[in-house]
Structure 1
Amino acid sequence: MNRLIPVTQVVTNSPPNHVSDKIYPRSFSGIYRQIRIAAGSMLFALYFGTVWLNWGGRQAVLWDLADKKFHIFGATYWPEDLFLLSGILIICAFGLFFITVLAGRVWCGYACPQSVWMWVFLWAEKLAEGDRRQRMKLDDAAFSQEKAVRRLLKHCLWLLISAATAVTFVGYFTPIRDLVPDLLSLELSGGVFFWVFFFTAATYVNAGWFREKVCFHMCPYGRFQSSMVDNDSLVVAYDAGRGDPRGSRRKDADPAAMGLGDCIDCEMCVQVCPTGIDIRDGLQMECIGCAACIDACDSIMDKMGYQKGLVRYASDNELNNGMKNLIRPRLVAYFFILVTMIGLFSWVLMTRPLMSLEIERDRGLFRYNGSGNIENSYLLSLTNKATEMRSAFIRVSGAGGINMSGLDEVKLRAGEKREIPIILEKAPASLQGEVTNITFEVSTSAEPEKRVAAPTTFLGPVFR
């Protein structure tokens, strides 16, 4: 039995918003708009505010590419910790799967950066050029001084938002407190200037010009939405059983006597849609689940004295037979996989050693020393990932009779990386072959149970 809701590709002879291909979303109000504003404000506060926080005398969140260190509040991560990034991305992917099975493209509507910035750019456009009808009229009008001023104001606002976005983004890789003064005094290096310019242009083009086209043609999420959503997923849906047949009428008219449903065919749901679709045609790939149509339709239902919810979050089963079934095997499976992955990631993060070890052998194979023993030389690279000074204790295991010359205890400052030369010697008579497998181990006084081990070999002559 197929439990997938088909995503409808709707083709119309003319776009619903205007005579051109441009979409002119109308202003509206409602509970879902307030939720979206709250979510967007929180994301803006996190994005623009976190970069200015300090922690322990440095920027709290800084991806220092020059020193190959990644500071996230009290923790410092190194290139060898990048596997943790893969874990985060996998967790985010499964989180997106879980959210999609539960409530469709709710991520796109409320938290996707493209959608959030698009709404901000639409607000700036409304501020400069007016609401939907005024913008349509302005576009159709001949060139004039007023049109030039309004257009200039709009693009200046767009560029200001884009520049602030770009500077903040680059500030996560270059200390923001140095970046901003250098920018204002035009003393940026060529590389930093390029990235500020690049991300300014990218934000300006994506959120200002491309807008919904990014969701249509560049984002793959809408393409596989239909394979994730099933008959019990909550999606933005039009209740055709209640709304059809559609038709205009007076407020005091009896729709039942006229043979009409509750939909008055005002097309407000179409006019407020940022992607320009008609939700009454069914779930479509272009729908980003922002619920703007729900707010618009509910306001019309209020004015007409009808019950709200003609367009609402509902599942296909709920619309067809009134059954709600939010808890189902696939959703439960995604939930347990997600919880398990978060638990494993947290365990790895908490138990990972804060001392790293790399070994490089001397280019020579081996040599005899003055005592007639065989020597091998190594270069150990130790990195203290902790935020305080730690003592590292070095030992070698895997073969008896090996003596180690060099430091066996090293004090490393927070974030310090040091190379330690080590010489191992062994009596020729104790060798059992040309190659002996050994292991260097490093532990710290702060975490003696967390040992970092690196295998290598001890080479000797061939005895025949």
Structure 2
Amino acid sequence: MKDITPVKIEKPTVEITKPSYSARSRIYVRSVKGMLETIRRVFGFVFLGIFAIAPWIQFRGQQAILFDLAEQRFNIFTLTLWPQDLTILAYIIIVSAFALFFVTTFAGRVWCGFMCPQTTWTWIYIWFEEKIEGTRNKRIKLDERKMDADKLTRKGLKHFAWVSVALLTALTFVGYFVPINELFIDFFTFNTTFWVAFWVIFFTACTYGNAGYMREIMCTHICPYARFQSAMFDKDTYTVSYDATRGEQRGPRSLKLSPDEVHKKGLGDCIDCNLCVQVCPTGIDIRNGLQYECINCGACVDACNGVMDKMGYEKGLIRFTSEHQLAGGVTKVMRPKLIGYAVVLVLMSALLVYDIVSRAPLDVDIIRDRNSLFRETNEGLIENVYTLKILNKSQLAQTYSVEVLGLTQPKFIGNSSVTVKGGGVYTLPISVAVNPNNLEEGTQRIYFKVTTSVDGDIVEVKERSTFIFTGV
């Protein structure tokens, strides 16, 4: 039977004198060095670099990545997505979601701790705080001081750095939606449009507020991921955990005492230095057990390992581990939930690739003339009028030939060959006339075939329509 014994959660003790509600106390994050901190910085720099550089890349004389909302098209190097390509966007969202589910089931909230933009920008802002205002203790003392020239200068420099980073972030982000080469020049010369300026200022304010002030509030109260991620956890999920069996009873001790002497005194390996709390960006005490506020950044792991090194103890008092390992068991990596997420992820990724590869580089839409079903020409032919919308989904100009199928000896009135610029839409009015002797009364199914050559390969699209003749 499944064990449904409630999990005991040890909550931090709260002083009786503390009011039931109080304003948010600021978290002063202490800097830390270690392997996980290095990995986190590498991830941060890589993804930050991609974010900053990507919109500046040019491809075939134009911005390689441009989400042009005004023209309703997304350019990603050779790929141009239109509203008709909604399935590709849906596949991308589904693949991203299941990738997140898979990683969370395996290693908890490592996305939050290592790659989330909120976390990355928060650490950037904390870095400026430390460089300008000093270490954690110096920042606390600085905030306790009355305002003087030194404090005003430091605070001013810090906020100037924050606003500068926020502005560069906003300009880069908006640069994914409007040509970035023109954006920077137009913005700083006050020649940009109202809406572009509005969104730059809006995202500047959001970045400044989120990374400068809200910080852990985004992770603990606003981000929905913090609320539903526990549904993907199980006893084999790797999370940042405190080994209470090894660490308790916690307490200070002399460096001269060996581990055996410490254990004889009834003490565990935890010296109760509280460094794990001081380095935590969400301000929790990991020793109180698994908490939804933990973003698995591993800062407490590096801090604790550093202390264990100084004390001469074995590392790993706080580490990435599973509930089964903490209980003395073995972690089952290959389990049904994880395998299920992996299978769906591979399947949806394959469908995404297939949809992109098999996607035709053109789209055709046919609109019949609504003023009349048909008309008789001076030559006695029966004529139907159509409007063809030819969408060139590629980024290079293409020449298309048009022909009609399904009629006997049709007379094509209009251009049978047109050239459409890259990413352009061409409206082609045409008429199709047929000898009434070759027609049956009623509605006949016909096809318009549009053909072009892309990189030496023949590409054609057949679009169905109708030819109407009710007798004369």
**Map of 1:442 onto structure 2:** 450
CA contact (8 A) 2:383 2:433 kept: yes
Identity of paired residues, percent?
42
Task: Write the distance in 1 (CA, Å) between the matches of 2:61 and 2:135.
Answer: 47
**Which runs of structure 2 are paired with 1:321-332 in the superposition (5 Å)?**
321-332=328-339
Task: Write the distance in 2 (CA, Å) between the matches of 1:125 and 1:28.
Answer: 14
What displacement does 1:369 show? 1.4
> Structure 1 residue aligned with 2:419, among 407, 411, 418?
411
Q: What do the CA deviations read for 1:364-390 (whole angstroms, capped 9, x no partner)?
A: 222111233321111101122223333
CA contact (8 A) 1:4 1:231 kept: no
Q: What do the CA deviations read for 1:277-325 (whole angstroms, capped 9, x no partner)?
A: 1111111110001000000000010111000000000011111123122
Residue 436 of structure 1 aligns with an amino acid whose one-letter code is Q
Task: Write the distance in 2 (CA, Å) between the matches of 1:456 and 1:227.
Answer: 50
**Map of 1:315 onto structure 2:** 322
Work out the number of aligned pairs and report it.
461
**Map of 1:454 onto structure 2:** 463
Task: Write the distance in 2 (CA, Å) between the matches of 1:167 and 1:448.
Answer: 40
Task: Write the distance in 1 (CA, Å) between the matches of 2:13 and 2:437.
Answer: 88
Residue 264 of structure 2 aligns with an amino acid whose one-letter code is A
Tell me if 1:338 matches 2:342: no
Task: Write the distance in 1 (CA, Å) between the matches of 2:430 and 2:12.
Answer: 73
The 1:140–1:368 alpha-carbon spacing in structure 2 relative to 1, beyond 3 Å, is same
What displacement does 1:398 show? 4.5
Moved more, 409-418 or 170-179: 409-418
Task: Write the distance in 1 (CA, Å) between the matches of 2:247 and 2:269.
Answer: 4
Tell me if 1:273 matches 2:274: no
What displacement does 1:242 show? 0.9
CA contact (8 A) 1:3 1:231 kept: no
**Which runs of structure 2 are paired with 1:171-190 in the superposition (5 Å)?**
171-190=175-194
TM-score (norm 1): 0.93
**Which runs of structure 2 are paired with 1:53-202 in the superposition (5 Å)?**
53-202=57-206
Task: Write the distance in 2 (CA, Å) between the matches of 1:6 and 1:420.
Answer: 69
Task: Write the distance in 1 (CA, Å) between the matches of 2:7 and 2:55.
Answer: 43
**Map of 1:205 onto structure 2:** 209
> Structure 2 residue aligned with 1:351, among 358, 368, 371?
358
Task: Write the distance in 1 (CA, Å) between the matches of 2:434 and 2:203.
Answer: 59
**Map of 1:28 onto structure 2:** 32
Mind listing any 5+ residue stretches in structure 2 that lack a counterpart?
none
Moved more, 370-379 or 155-164: 370-379
Residue 359 of structure 1 aligns with an amino acid whose one-letter code is I
The 1:108–1:45 alpha-carbon spacing in structure 2 relative to 1, beyond 3 Å, is same
Residue 412 of structure 1 aligns with an amino acid whose one-letter code is V
Moved more, 413-422 or 340-349: 413-422
The 1:329–1:305 alpha-carbon spacing in structure 2 relative to 1, beyond 3 Å, is same
**Map of 2:431 onto structure 1:** 423
1:13 is paired with a residue whose SS is: coil
Tell me if 1:263 matches 2:264: no
CA contact (8 A) 1:439 1:454 kept: yes
TM-score (norm 2): 0.91
Task: Write the distance in 2 (CA, Å) between the matches of 1:60 and 1:181.
Answer: 19
How large is the Cα RMSD of the aligned pairs? Answer: 2.4
Task: Write the distance in 1 (CA, Å) between the matches of 2:406 and 2:146.
Answer: 85
> Structure 2 residue aligned with 1:375, among 376, 383, 391?
383
What displacement does 1:221 show? 0.6
**Map of 1:384 onto structure 2:** 392
Task: Write the distance in 2 (CA, Å) between the matches of 1:210 and 1:199.
Answer: 15
CA contact (8 A) 2:10 2:288 kept: no
Q: What do the CA deviations read for 1:395-445 (whole angstroms, capped 9, x no partner)?
A: 333455644332333233333321111212234455445333333232223
**Map of 1:291 onto structure 2:** 298
Moved more, 245-254 or 64-73: 64-73
Task: Write the distance in 1 (CA, Å) between the matches of 2:215 and 2:471.
Answer: 71
**Map of 1:50 onto structure 2:** 54
Task: Write the distance in 2 (CA, Å) between the matches of 1:126 and 1:72.
Answer: 38
Task: Write the distance in 2 (CA, Å) between the matches of 1:59 and 1:398.
Answer: 43
Residue 457 of structure 1 aligns with an amino acid whose one-letter code is T
